[in-house]
């Protein structure tokens, strides 16, 4: 039996914002090559977890290890092997794609030429070679998202954090990107995929973690979850586990109000 | 990306940065990116065709330094004439502090309060130290240029007169002053952020910006007049309250080393000038982590907004708006103008000026003659000063920080967009012009007596007419549909011409005061013209697509 390499390890992770407890003890071990679907309702603590893993948030209790290194404010070396697509498309959009991507590449320790050449080729694959020297501010939402995706992969990371990475992409690009993820995972990259679109999570992840109110409430492959919860789709499992079952009533109320005029 | 001269200069100090454990090449790259971005403006969606031709990249800030250089020439006499170092240098440092602080708050707030950096830079393998060093150097580069522009000329002049020791003291003093200001600003933000949420902070910054720009403009007016009063031979009498006036700390070393006086007070002041900035930095470093944490508040808006029911506004909407569409758009424009910070920032300072200008003229008059003379004169025409803000405000109506929301006009089933424009103008008159006008009117009636009421009414109608003329003449696109970043390009010459028109109105009004019942007749005539003009304008100019 092959000993699976541990990429990420959380032990009793807790975090407060003032008096509000956002994470109430998360325990999680992630192995190499997994695609983790990290889901949960708004405010459950998904983004907070990712922020802690990226070293954006300090002041937590518990142990956080990535590639066997403990995540602290001083330790920045592990970030070299991480790629990140944030939920909100935050980038310096006054720069051109060339300027932004080479800048990010250089921050990850690549030299300018390599980063430039690689970025240009990746842009070409996404069909954006003409706008490589235009400012990102003039891009459409999908194009910005593609730039973010390229910037997260430019340095060939081993661990990827993707927060709603498909937002704004058209159906064809979504297919390309899903395939990219599958190939990356097959080559041993680990992917932490966070999204609200359950169908996609259901299809691409080989392990799903559902977090609700700061705690992990479900952990396993889609089939395992299905067997445990007797529900047909991930969406239904999600509704059941987060205790939400009034969607029909709410929808009816909504439409009734719309029709009042 | 350009290779910036500033960064080449910075390369000389590479060793120093590295000895503090900063990754210099990375810091340099971050700075290059920041400087590149500073020189660019984001394009507008509505204007893309118009601005196809690429303009050379220019840094608006560096360009604006010319103003400061001009101002600095007026500071030379303060430094060169007179022999009271403490007094002269305190004034110089006071002015420098004030200008740098203003600039700090209005131009660098976005640097200090940047939260984008966190997501982009901190997720990369870049140390915190390097990121904060880049931030500090970024601000320092601008502070350097700013300080050089303001203090350069007077310091050079002073050096010629007082020698090299003066130069040395000045340089040290200016560096310390800048440190002090940066830290002070950061600490102020820290406390605001600690007790309020982000929206409140943005509001406070906004009002500070408005307040400062008004006081600068007024300050220029008063400064010029104040010179005649200043007696350069004021003797120094130390007292305890001077400990609380930082410019005096920084003025003290000059008296101590160059002047003939030396006493305990001066030594203490000089020490304060050295110790306080250093201490401030230590405190700042301690607070930095929790400051960064509080910065996160900028993104979330805790605390639900309050909805204020305003009866009189509802009533007014019914009175001055004819169609239903116009009422809707009136409420919309009302909300936009009251809530939009950038709009307030661009327009409120001129509101403040309008409020102050009439009095500046009148003080001049009082100085030359007497108060009794003023009361019997026709200086109540100074109320026209309140019209000064109209051209500026009318041009600003078309801008919005959230101009991209303007698609709503095109998708909504509105027949014509004309009511949008007239509604925006009505809101402007009610919300912005009327308060200034009323405050001034009350004061003017207090000064000149009730006999000027007809004249004041004439001014109001003229203002409305003037608004129509300005909106016709300075006509732009739809209200709230363009980015403020384009605002700088709109013609200043046009506004100047529009301002000249006020002089014409004043002239006519002045003339009719000599005719018996002239003012009343003029008033009726104006009223007719204004109503006619409004209707006419409604039909023709505002019906563009």
Contacts of B281 (CB under 8 A, 6+ apart): B179, B183
- Chain A residues within an 8 Å CB radius of B120: 90-92, 104
**How many contiguous H segments (helices) and E segments (strands) does chain A have?**
9, 10
Report for A56-65, A200-209, B347-356, B368-377: range of highest mean pLDDT: A200-209
In the predicted structure, residue B112 carries a pLDDT above the cut 90? no
pLDDT band at B61 (very low <50, low <70, confident <90, very high): low
Binding-face residues of A in 44-103 toward B, CB within 8 A: 54-56, 58-59, 73, 76-80, 82, 84, 86, 88, 90-95, 99, 103
In the predicted structure, residue B545 carries a pLDDT above the cut 50? no
The whole-number pLDDT of residue B116 equals: 75
- Three-state SS string over B171-215 comes to HHHHHHHHHHHHHHHHHHHHHHHHHCCHHHHHHHHHHHHHHHHHH
A-B interface: how many C-beta pairs under 8 angstroms?
68
pLDDT-above-70 percentage for chain B: 81
pLDDT band at B217 (very low <50, low <70, confident <90, very high): low
Three-state DSSP class for B529? Answer: helix
pLDDT band at B491 (very low <50, low <70, confident <90, very high): low
**H or E element that contains B475:** none
Q: What is the pLDDT of residues A128-155, one digit of tens each?
A: 989 998 888 888 889 999 999 999 999 9
The whole-number pLDDT of residue A123 equals: 93
- Chain A residues within an 8 Å CB radius of B46: none
A125 touches chain B (CB under 8 A): no
Over residues B519-529, mean pLDDT:
92
What is the distance in angstroms between the Cα of A156 and the nearest Cα belonging to chain B?
13
- Rounded CA separation B80/B336 (Å): 50
The whole-number pLDDT of residue B487 equals: 61
- Chain B residues within an 8 Å CB radius of A80: 125
Report for A85-89, B214-218, B227-231: range of highest mean pLDDT: A85-89
In the predicted structure, residue A80 carries a pLDDT above the cut 50? yes
Binding-face residues of A in 104-123 toward B, CB within 8 A: 104, 106-109
Lowest mean pLDDT among A146-150, B200-204, B339-343: B200-204
Using CB atoms, which residue from B48, B120, B127 is nearest to A91? B120
Over residues B252-259, mean pLDDT:
78
Using CB atoms, which residue from B36, B124, B293 is nearest to A104? B124
What is the distance in angstroms between the Cα of B480 and the nearest Cα belonging to chain A?
20
In the predicted structure, residue B377 carries a pLDDT above the cut 90? no
Q: What is the pLDDT of residues A37-60, one digit of tens each?
A: 998 888 788 888 888 888 877 778
Q: What is the pLDDT of residues B435-478, one digit of tens each?
A: 889 999 999 898 888 888 889 999 999 999 999 888 877 766 77
Using CB atoms, which residue from A78, A94, A138 is nearest to B37? A94
Over residues B143-150, mean pLDDT:
86
A261 token code pair: 């005029």
Contact B202, B301 (CB under 8 A): no
What is the distance in angstroms between the Cα of B38 and the nearest Cα belonging to chain A?
9
- Chain A residues within an 8 Å CB radius of B126: 76, 107
pLDDT-above-70 percentage for chain A: 98
Contacts of B508 (CB under 8 A, 6+ apart): B522
pLDDT band at A167 (very low <50, low <70, confident <90, very high): confident
Lowest mean pLDDT among A23-32, A60-69, B240-249: B240-249
pLDDT band at B431 (very low <50, low <70, confident <90, very high): confident
For chain B, the residues whose C-beta falls within 8 A of a C-beta of chain A are 1, 26, 29-30, 33, 36-37, 40-43, 48, 116, 118-128, 289, 293
The whole-number pLDDT of residue B297 equals: 64
Q: How many residues does chain B have?
A: 545
Q: Among A92, A116, A141, A157, which would you mutate to test the B interface (most chain B Cβ atoms within 10 Å of its Cβ)?
A: A92
What does the mean pLDDT of chain B come to?
77
Q: What is the pLDDT of residues B148-166, one digit of tens each?
A: 888 888 888 888 888 888 8
Which residues in B42-175 belong to E strands, given as ranges? Answer: none
Residue B356: CB atoms within 10 A of its CB come to 17
- Three-state SS string over B371-394 comes to HHHHHCCCHHHHHHHHHHHHHHHH
Contacts of A78 (CB under 8 A, 6+ apart): A66, A67, A69, A71, B125
pLDDT band at B221 (very low <50, low <70, confident <90, very high): low
Over residues B289-307, mean pLDDT:
63
pLDDT band at B62 (very low <50, low <70, confident <90, very high): low
pLDDT band at B248 (very low <50, low <70, confident <90, very high): confident
The whole-number pLDDT of residue B51 equals: 42
- Rounded CA separation B458/B215 (Å): 30
- Say what angle helices B246-257 and B164-195 make with each other, to 10 degrees: 160
A138:B33 CB<8 A: no
B126:A103 CB<8 A: no
Going from N- to C-terminal start, the domains of chain B cover 5-225+275-299, 319-540
The whole-number pLDDT of residue B489 equals: 52
In the predicted structure, residue B56 carries a pLDDT above the cut 70? no
- Chain A residues within an 8 Å CB radius of B289: 58
In the predicted structure, residue B89 carries a pLDDT above the cut 90? no
What is the distance in angstroms between the Cα of B457 and the nearest Cα belonging to chain A?
45
pTM for this prediction: 0.72
Three-state DSSP class for A191? Answer: strand
Using CB atoms, which residue from A59, A80, A137 is nearest to B43? A137
Which residues in A112-250 belong to E strands, given as ranges? Answer: 159-163, 190-194, 207-212, 215-220
Higher pLDDT, B118 or A235: A235
CA dihedral for B460, B464, B467, B472, sign (positive or negative): negative
B33:A104 CB<8 A: no
Q: Among A103, A139, A144, A151, which would you mutate to test the B interface (most chain B Cβ atoms within 10 Å of its Cβ)?
A: A103
In the predicted structure, residue A118 carries a pLDDT above the cut 90? yes
Over residues B387-414, mean pLDDT:
80
Lowest mean pLDDT among A213-227, A233-247, B362-376, B494-508: B362-376
Strand A35-39 with A190-194, pairing: parallel
Contact B64, B145 (CB under 8 A): no
A94:B116 CB<8 A: no
B86 token code pair: 């403490």
* Angstrom distances, CA of residue B192 to CA of A87, B112, B139, B179, B188: 28, 13, 21, 20, 6
Over residues A77-93, mean pLDDT:
85
Lowest mean pLDDT among A28-37, A193-202, A236-245, B439-448: A236-245
Contact B291, B270 (CB under 8 A): no
Q: Among A47, A72, A80, A94, which would you mutate to test the B interface (most chain B Cβ atoms within 10 Å of its Cβ)?
A: A94
Residue of chain B minimizing CA distance to A109:
B125
In the predicted structure, residue A29 carries a pLDDT above the cut 70? yes
Contact A95, B36 (CB under 8 A): yes
B125:A76 CB<8 A: yes
In the predicted structure, residue B496 carries a pLDDT above the cut 90? no
What is the distance in angstroms between the Cα of A234 and the nearest Cα belonging to chain B?
30
B128:A77 CB<8 A: no
């Amino acid at each position: 039996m092959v000993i699976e390499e541990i990429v990420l390890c959380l032990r009793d992770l807790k975090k407060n914002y003032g008096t509000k407890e956002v994470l109430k003890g998360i325990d999680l071990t992630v192995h190499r090559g997994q695609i983790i679907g990290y889901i949960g309702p708004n405010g459950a603590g998904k983004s907070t977890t990712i922020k802690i893993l990226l070293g954006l948030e300090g002041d937590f209790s518990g142990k956080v290890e990535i590639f066997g290194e403990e995540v602290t404010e001083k330790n920045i070396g592990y970030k070299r092997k991480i790629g990140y697509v944030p939920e909100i498309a935050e980038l310096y959009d006054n720069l051109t794609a060339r300027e932004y991507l080479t800048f990010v590449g250089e921050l990850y320790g690549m030299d300018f030429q390599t980063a430039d050449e690689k970025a240009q080729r990746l842009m070409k694959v996404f069909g954006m070679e003409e706008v490589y020297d235009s400012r990102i501010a003039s891009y459409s939402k999908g194009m910005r998202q593609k730039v973010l995706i390229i910037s997260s992969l430019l340095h060939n990371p081993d661990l990827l954090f993707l927060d709603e990475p498909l937002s704004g992409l058209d159906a064809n690009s979504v297919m390309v990107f899903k395939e990219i993820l599958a190939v990356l995972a097959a080559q041993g990259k680990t992917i932490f995929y966070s999204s609200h679109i359950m169908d996609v999570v259901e299809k691409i992840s080989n392990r799903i973690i559902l977090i609700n109110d700061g705690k992990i409430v479900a952990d396993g492959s889609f089939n395992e979850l299905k067997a445990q919860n007797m529900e047909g789709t991930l969406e239904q499992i999600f509704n059941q586990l987060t205790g939400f079952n009034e969607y029909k009533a709410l929808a009816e109320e909504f439409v009734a109000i719309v029709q009042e005029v | 990306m350009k290779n910036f001269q500033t960064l080449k200069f910075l390369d000389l100090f590479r060793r120093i940065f590295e000895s503090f454990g900063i990754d210099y090449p990375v810091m340099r790259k971050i700075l290059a990116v920041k400087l590149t971005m500073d020189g660019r403006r984001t394009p507008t969606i509505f204007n893309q065709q118009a601005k196809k031709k690429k303009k050379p990249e220019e840094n608006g800030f560096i360009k604006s330094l010319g103003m400061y250089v001009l101002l600095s020439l007026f500071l030379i006499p303060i430094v060169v004439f007179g022999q009271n170092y403490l007094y002269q240098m305190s004034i110089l440092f006071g002015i420098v502090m004030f200008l740098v602080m203003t600039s700090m708050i209005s131009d660098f707030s976005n640097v200090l309060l940047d939260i984008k950096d966190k997501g982009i830079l901190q997720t990369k393998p870049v140390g915190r130290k390097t990121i904060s060093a880049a931030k500090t150097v970024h601000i320092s580069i601008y502070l350097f240029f700013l300080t050089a522009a303001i203090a350069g000329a007077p310091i050079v002049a002073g050096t010629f007169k007082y020698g090299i020791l003066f130069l040395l003291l000045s340089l040290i003093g200016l560096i310390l002053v800048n440190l002090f200001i940066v830290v002070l600003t950061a600490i102020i933000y820290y406390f605001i952020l600690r007790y309020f949420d982000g929206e409140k902070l943005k509001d406070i910054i906004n009002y500070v910006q408005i307040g400062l720009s008004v006081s600068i403009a007024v300050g220029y007016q008063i400064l010029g007049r104040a010179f005649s009063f200043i007696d350069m031979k004021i003797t120094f009498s130390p007292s305890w309250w001077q400990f609380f006036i930082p410019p005096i700390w920084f003025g003290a070393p000059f008296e101590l080393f160059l002047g003939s006086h030396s006493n305990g007070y001066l030594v203490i002041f000089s020490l304060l000038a050295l110790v306080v900035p250093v201490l401030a930095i230590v405190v700042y470093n301690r607070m930095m982590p929790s400051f960064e944490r509080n910065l996160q508040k900028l993104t979330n808006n805790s605390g639900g907004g309050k909805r204020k029911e305003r009866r009189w506004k509802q009533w007014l909407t019914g009175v001055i708006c004819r169609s239903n569409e116009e009422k809707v758009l009136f409420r919309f424009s009302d909300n936009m103008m009251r809530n939009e910070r950038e709009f307030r920032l661009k327009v409120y300072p001129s509101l403040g000026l309008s409020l102050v200008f009439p009095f500046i003229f009148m003080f001049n008059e009082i100085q030359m003659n007497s108060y009794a003379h003023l009361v019997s004169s026709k200086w109540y025409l100074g109320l026209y000063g309140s019209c000064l803000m109209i051209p500026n405000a009318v041009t600003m109506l078309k801008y919005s920080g959230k101009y991209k929301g303007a698609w709503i006009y095109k998708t909504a089933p509105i027949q014509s967009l004309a009511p949008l424009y007239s509604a925006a103008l009505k809101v402007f008159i009610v919300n912005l012009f009327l308060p200034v006008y009323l405050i001034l009117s009350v004061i003017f009636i207090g000064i000149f007596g009730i006999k000027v009421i007809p004249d004041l009414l004439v001014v109001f109608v003229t203002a409305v007419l003037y608004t129509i003329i300005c909106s016709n003449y300075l006509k732009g696109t739809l209200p709230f549909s363009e980015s403020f970043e384009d605002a700088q390009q709109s013609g200043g010459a046009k506004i100047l011409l529009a301002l000249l028109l006020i002089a014409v109105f004043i002239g006519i009004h002045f003339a009719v005061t000599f005719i018996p019942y002239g003012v009343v007749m003029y008033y009726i005539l104006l009223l007719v013209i204004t109503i006619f003009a409004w209707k006419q304008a409604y039909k023709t100019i505002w019906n563009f697509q």
